[in-house]
A = this chain, B = another copy of it.
Amino acid sequence: MDHDGRITIKDIAKETNLSIATVSRVLANTGEHNGETVKKVQNAAIKMGYIKNTSAVELVQRTSHVIAVIVSNTKSNFSDSIISAIEDQAVQNNLDVFILHAGHADEVSQERAIKTVSERAVKGIILVSLELNDHILQLLKEAGISCVCLSTSVKNSVFPFVTSDNFKMGYAATDFLIKKGHKKIGIAGIPADGSISQRIAGYSQCMQDHNLQIKKAWIQYGDCTYDDGVQAMKNYREQEPITAVICASDFVGVGLMNTATKMGIKVPVQLNIISFDGTNLVDIVRPRITSVTQQFYAMGTEGIDFILKKRSFTSKYLPFKIVERESTSSIN
């Protein structure tokens, strides 16, 4: 036994008077051995409580039952829905799900996570909400494992992806507010780079299509956090008042709304708020926040279907919808 009290191949070798290499090969089902040797090793393994070496068998047979999900460790709450869908489907297909966290656009932690899973036997890798650079994409390609990206698009479509069209969502949120009579519309908490920055492009295009000028201070960059919402609201008040704001995430929306309320600005009477995502958070705060609701659960289902090759698959944008709640109202 090793220092943890676990039975090792060495213990079985000692018990059976066989070499470690032979025991290893018998248990991993490689090489050829006579039936008596196989039986001897197997009996000892069972008797001694040696845990079946699933990884090794899987590595030889390439039939892993594990789906690896690498998910952004950015504090977002929508990934819960994506993971729920993956797990629901996994159980139905007798697969196991391992979840690993990695930084949103953090090459070191992404590389580490990818190496961790690709050096083991996995049936496929589902990447959730990660911005991948060329080096990481190359690493994934070299791993030769089925890969799909959810909630982000992929440059040059090296891998299939399932997400919502960020440009269209930005455009739709802006159009929704303009139709309510707003002209001074801000956008808050969105990073300047990466696929979700396209929401700003959609916002800009919609403003332009309605002949509305955008002031520089109306665009408040951030990283989708609650604190970004707090900071954006402070900046709006100091720099350039707006009557409506599009928030990068539900967290940004709540942070911005709480800060506005603290300043004595009434939502929605004096300020309209709409947030991207539409997770359960927008329903449990008061007032409830109007959202551009994405189909996160469906993204998870699509992702695992791709790994299982259930049907022909191309990258796609899933439909989104605007769900109106209490944080928006028409300007009279």
User: A residues engaging B (CB < 8 A)?
Assistant: 2, 4-9, 19-21, 24-25, 28, 30-32, 49, 51-56, 58-60, 62, 66, 73, 75, 80, 83-84, 87, 91, 96-101, 109, 112-113, 116, 118-121, 142-146, 226, 254-255, 258, 261, 280, 284-286
Copies of this chain in its oligomeric complex: 2
Nearest B-chain residue to A113, judged by Cβ: B96
Given the interface contacts A28-B24, A100-B98, does A59 sit within 8 Å of B49 by beta carbon?
A: no
8 CB contacts below 8 A, A to B, read: A2-B62, A8-B62, A21-B31, A55-B59, A55-B119, A96-B112, A98-B100, A285-B285
A286 cross-chain contacts in B, Cβ below 8 A: 258, 261, 285-286
Measured between alpha carbons, how far is A120 from B59 in the docked complex, in Å?
Answer: 11
A30 cross-chain contacts in B, Cβ below 8 A: 9, 20-21, 24
Measured between alpha carbons, how far is A146 from B4 in the docked complex, in Å?
Answer: 7
A8 cross-chain contacts in B, Cβ below 8 A: 60, 62
User: Closest Cβ of chain B: how far from A189's Cβ, in Å?
Assistant: 15
Which of B19, B56, B83, B226 makes the CB contact (< 8 A) with A56?
B56
Task: Report yes or no: B112 in contact with A101, Cβ–Cβ below 8 A.
Answer: no
Task: Report yes or no: B54 in contact with A24, Cβ–Cβ below 8 A.
Answer: no
User: Closest Cβ of chain B: how far from A234's Cβ, in Å?
Assistant: 17
5 A-B pairs closest in CB distance? A21-B31, A55-B55, A54-B119, A99-B99, A6-B144
Task: Report yes or no: A119 in contact with B25, Cβ–Cβ below 8 A.
Answer: no
Nearest B-chain residue to A56, judged by Cβ: B56
Measured between alpha carbons, how far is A118 from B56 in the docked complex, in Å?
Answer: 13
Task: Report yes or no: A121 in contact with B4, Cβ–Cβ below 8 A.
Answer: no
A285 cross-chain contacts in B, Cβ below 8 A: 284-286
Task: Report yes or no: A62 in contact with B144, Cβ–Cβ below 8 A.
Answer: no
Which of B7, B52, B226 makes the CB contact (< 8 A) with A284?
B226
Measured between alpha carbons, how far is A101 from B300 in the docked complex, in Å?
Answer: 16
A2 cross-chain contacts in B, Cβ below 8 A: 62
User: Closest Cβ of chain B: how far from A206's Cβ, in Å?
Assistant: 29
Nearest B-chain residue to A118, judged by Cβ: B51
Measured between alpha carbons, how far is A51 from B53 in the docked complex, in Å?
Answer: 19
Given the interface contacts A21-B31, A97-B101, does A59 sit within 8 Å of B66 by beta carbon?
A: no
